[in-house]
Amino acid sequence: MSTTAPPPDGLDHVDERLLRTSPLKKLLARPELGSVVGAIAVFVFFSLVADSFLRPSSLGTVLYAASVLGIMAVPVALLMIGGEFDLSAGVLVTSSALVSSMSSYQMTANVWVGVGVSLLVTLAIGAFNGFMLTRTKLPSFIITLGTFLMLTGLNLGLTKLIAGTVSTKSIADMEGFPSAHALFASTLTVGGVELKVTILWWLALVAVATWILLRTRFGNWIFAVGGGADAARAVGVPVHRTKIGLYMGVAFCAWISGQHLLLSFDVVQSGEGVGNELIYIIAAVIGGCLITGGYGSAIGSAVGALIFGMTSKGIVYAEWNPDWFKFFLGAMLLLATLLNAWIRKRVEATK
Amino acid sequence: MTTDTAPLVELDDVSKYYGNIRALEGVSLEVRAGEITCVLGDNGAGKSTLIKIVAGLHRHDAGTFRIEGEEVALANPRDALDRGIATVYQDLAVVPLMPVWRNFFLGSEPTKGKGPLRRLDVDLMRATTREALLRMGIDLRDVDQPIGTLSGGERQCVAIARAVHFGARVLVLDEPTAALGVKQSGVVLKYVAAARDQGLGVVLITHNPHHAYLVGDRFVLLKRGTMAASHTKGEVTLDELTRQMAGGSELDDLRHELERPAAS
């Protein structure tokens, strides 16, 4: 070796040039910090203006609203970290529910058959999105806008063709309904608070997604394909497979959401789901995901969903006109994004 | 110079066409262990095309490409990596937002545990990154900082250290000094030499004959997609190299054109 390499003893001792970082500063460097501050602010705000907001029953309602959104916000956040969008995610939930309902109604009288068929079809649509994206190299905005429109049309058209109306027939009297209902749409009572099972799904998904992102090779690849796809490809990361995997993750969660949608109401309205894709993206962005990819967290998306749940229900508890909800959501999005940008700048400046 | 063993990488009369565009024609070069082969050329001379063939991003259309005497057609960058050819690109060597240690192991992450508990060996990754960089003489303050916060030269060095650590036998460097200042260029060239001294074969792509002459053993000059000249170090002087590189007679024409009209 010709270089004057210092002996590699610096592995254990802390570099003297590295000032001790306080735990606070470490916390500040987390992508979800802005959203946590926002969530606390929203919580305090509605606790003050709405008396019923702090009741245990309200907690269950708020968490339920957050979980329904949060289940989808998790994979959408991962996809965004991977540098892509999925505008078809909202209607894909409805498609998944419709496929499930109609295939069990038309083929057999067993709910579980529909649940299984729906999983396969939904994953196939996710794979289609990913495959089209990686094959054509068109922006994901265009590809998934196409799938969004096609699915919207298919949902309405096929439902009318098969069921004759815009909603499916009830599946409540079919075989397997109670067990499927228990898995996807039951209500648990914990300490007198009624909690929907979707909250468990949500928490589990956040935990699994966080594990994948931070502690697996696939997670490393997600950050890499979003932060620099060419650099990632150059060192041998399977960029295409990673992206297709992310779209199938969105599809998998759409399947969970779709089954919940179907099994909690027995029927599905074929026009539902339009517009939700943007709310998933909003939750991910509020949670600190960089819209250009390469940065963000699954926990952040959960906090974003929680802010959404608190705002949407808080307005009801405060007995305001719910028309104001969208205004609040928009203001929250702007504030959270500005806060995130400001924090990131400060953290990077101190490095 | 020993010529009895097969070179690590050898291109013989290699050509590449994009549709009706001749990007590269009849280029030959060889890279030997412990030597630096410099590829010189102006913008559009075909340097990028050449690098993409060696790195496995594009397949050559004609000629032969041998790795250690064996004729190959690389399918993708992974294939090239598996054969010991690591490429460090000028601007896309790393993912800026990711921490140094994640970048260092990107694409070759070590794991521990089995089944669903199979996970990144984070402690090993952090320690190894630090150690490997120290061995190259790079002393980083914090391997957790996003690599985008490092200077351009440091980033190149991390990418070179990564290639060396993962057992590359041929290092392909795409204009490692192009965007750097004089001092930083010197630092990078020092690491290039360090890699050579560890027994690697190096392909150094550059348009700076001064940098090339400092470290190079062989020089290949590209011009408009063809090979204009090929020298070994003993055969050519820096002035001659610079002159050929700058276009030789074209430079004389340019000087003539730019000359102030004689005061009359």
* Percent over 70 (pLDDT), chain A: 89
Using alpha carbons, list the distances in angstroms from residue A330 to A87, A106, A282, A285, A326. 18, 42, 9, 12, 6
Residue B216 phi/psi, 5° resolution? -75, 150
State how far the Cα of B176 lies from the Cα of B190, in Å rounded to an integer.
12
Q: What angle do CA A312, A313, A316 make, to 5 degrees?
A: 105
Alpha helices in B14-90 (DSSP H): 47-55, 77-82
State how far the Cα of B186 lies from the Cα of B205, in Å rounded to an integer.
15
State how far the Cα of A74 lies from the Cα of A69, in Å rounded to an integer.
9
Residue B39 phi/psi, 5° resolution? -110, 115
Does the beta carbon of B142 lie under 8 angstroms from any beta carbon of chain A?
A: yes
Chain B residues near residue A3 by CB distance under 8 angstroms: 136-137, 190-191, 194
Nearest to B94 among A5, A17, A231 (CB): A231
The domain limits of chain A are 53-185+196-342
State how far the Cα of A126 lies from the Cα of A124, in Å rounded to an integer.
5
DSSP β-bridge partners for residue B41: B222
* For chain A, the helix, strand and coil percentages under 3-state DSSP, each to the nearest 5: 70, 5, 25
Return the pLDDT at A192.
79
Q: Complex ipTM, two decimals?
A: 0.79
Using alpha carbons, list the distances in angstroms from residue A73 to A160, A176, B132, B246. 30, 29, 39, 56
Q: Return the residue in B81, B89, B95 with the most chain A beta carbons within 10 A, the one to mutate for interface testing.
A: B95
- Say if residue A350's pLDDT is above 60: no
State the pLDDT confidence band at A44, using cuts at 50, 70 and 90: very high
Distance from CA of B244 to the nearest CA of A (A): 32
Q: Return the residue in A17, A235, A344 with the most chain B beta carbons within 10 A, the one to mutate for interface testing.
A: A235
Cα–Cα nearest to B238, from B212, B264, B261, B263 = B212
Kindly report the average pLDDT of chain A as a whole number: 87
- Say if residue A7's pLDDT is above 50: no
State how far the Cα of B71 lies from the Cα of A318, in Å rounded to an integer.
75
- Say if residue A118's pLDDT is above 80: yes
Q: Which residue of B has its CA nearest to A81?
A: B97
pLDDT, average across residues A27-41: 78
Does the beta carbon of B93 lie under 8 angstroms from any beta carbon of chain A?
A: yes
Q: pLDDT of B155-176, one tens digit each? A: 888 888 888 888 888 989 888 8
Decide if A217 and B136 are in contact by the 8 Å CB cutoff.
Answer: no
Q: pLDDT of B4-58, one tens digit each? A: 577 888 888 888 888 888 888 888 888 998 899 999 888 778 888 888 888 888 8
- Say if residue A10's pLDDT is above 70: no
Does the beta carbon of B81 lie under 8 angstroms from any beta carbon of chain A?
A: yes
Q: What angle do CA A119, A123, A127 make, to 5 degrees?
A: 170
Does the beta carbon of B224 lie under 8 angstroms from any beta carbon of chain A?
A: no
Using alpha carbons, list the distances in angstroms from residue A298 to A164, A303, B235. 41, 9, 60
Kind plus residue range of the DSSP H or E element containing B66: strand B62-67
- The more confident residue out of A195 and A37 is A195
- Say if residue A16's pLDDT is above 60: no
State the pLDDT confidence band at A12, using cuts at 50, 70 and 90: very low
Chain B residues near residue A227 by CB distance under 8 angstroms: 95-98
Decide if B120 and A3 are in contact by the 8 Å CB cutoff.
Answer: no
Return the pLDDT at A151.
96
pLDDT, average across residues A100-115: 87
Nearest to B145 among A220, A231, A351 (CB): A351
Decide if A15 and B142 are in contact by the 8 Å CB cutoff.
Answer: yes
Return the pLDDT at B262.
63
Return the pLDDT at A1.
37
Decide if A11 and B127 are in contact by the 8 Å CB cutoff.
Answer: yes
Return the pLDDT at A202.
96
State the pLDDT confidence band at A79, using cuts at 50, 70 and 90: very high
- The more confident residue out of B143 and A253 is A253
Residues from A contacting B (CB-CB < 8 Å) are: 1-6, 8, 10-11, 15, 17-18, 211, 215-217, 219-221, 223-224, 227-228, 230-237, 290, 294-295, 348, 351
Which range has the worst mean pLDDT, A9-13, A85-89, A208-212? A9-13
* Percent over 90 (pLDDT), chain A: 53
Q: pLDDT of A290-322, one tens digit each? A: 888 888 999 999 999 999 999 889 988 988 888
| Contact indicator for B54, B118 with CB cutoff of 8 Å | no
Q: B124: which 2 tokens? A: 């090993």
CATH (residue range A53-185+196-342): 1.10.3470
- The more confident residue out of B5 and A237 is A237
Return the pLDDT at A205.
97
pLDDT, average across residues B90-110: 84
pLDDT, average across residues A31-53: 86
- The more confident residue out of B18 and A154 is A154
| Contact indicator for A290, A85 with CB cutoff of 8 Å | no
Which range has the worst mean pLDDT, A44-48, A229-233, B249-253? B249-253
State how far the Cα of B185 lies from the Cα of B204, in Å rounded to an integer.
13
